Amino acid sequence: MRIAFFGVLLALFSLAVLAQDKNAAPGIDEMMKKMEPAAAPGPAHEKLAMYVGSWNVKTSVWLAGPDQPPTVTNGTAEFTSILGGRFVMEQYQSEVMGKTMHGMGINGYDNDRKKYTLFWIDDMGTVMSTADGNFDKSGKVLTCYGKGDDPTTGEYDKNLAYITRIVDNDKFTFEIDDLSIGGSDMKTMILEYTRKK
């Protein structure tokens, strides 16, 4: 995937250089025009703007299983719009087991695939989590699907759902469900975001 990504990047760069060359081969302008819609932020990206700002975050994690009380921690998050509104970056911090935990996420929308995308890393591990999906008809619930590993149990490539529920402009929740569990006990973590006033 990394090689493919850099190949696309090189092709785009080459097209940009050729487009500036008055002696470029015919058709370069047409190719650039086709690339513009894929690169331009639109209404789907504007929807991401609701995240921008400072938030208090209450995190509930079911470490001992879904039938036991969750471990609850409090933290903060700062969302900023980046790269011309194409993505929103989250900087997250909380206390976990007496240690300060830092995380970073990026949310976006892929114009070509017509899907919202998410990316997450933190200093509790070395995993890069990715997922993609779409909002439901209400426009209030975004469900993305991805894979996850659990080195404590030796389970890898578990099917996960990442569900964002927008309550209003000042509150939303982010839930991680382990789809391998099934039933009503799939949730493993819920983060409740409340905008700072």
The DSSP string of 53-95 is EEEEEEEEE-TT-TTSPPEEEEEEEEEEEETTTTEEEEEEEEE
On the question of pLDDT at 4 being above 50, the answer is: no
187, pLDDT greater than 50: yes
| 21 pLDDT higher than 70 | no
92-114, pLDDT tens digit by residue? Answer: 999 887 889 999 999 999 999 99
Question: Can you give the residue ranges of every domain in the chain?
Answer: 2-39, 43-195
Assess whether pLDDT exceeds 70 at residue 7.
Answer: no
pLDDT for the residue 19:
53
CA 12, 14, 20, 26 torsion-angle sign = negative
Closest CA to 58 of 192, 195, 189: 192
| pTM greater than the 0.85 cutoff | no
Q: What is the pLDDT of residue 136?
A: 97
Superfamily (CATH) of domain 43-195: Calycin beta-barrel core domain (2.40.128.20)
1 pLDDT band, cuts 50/70/90, is very low
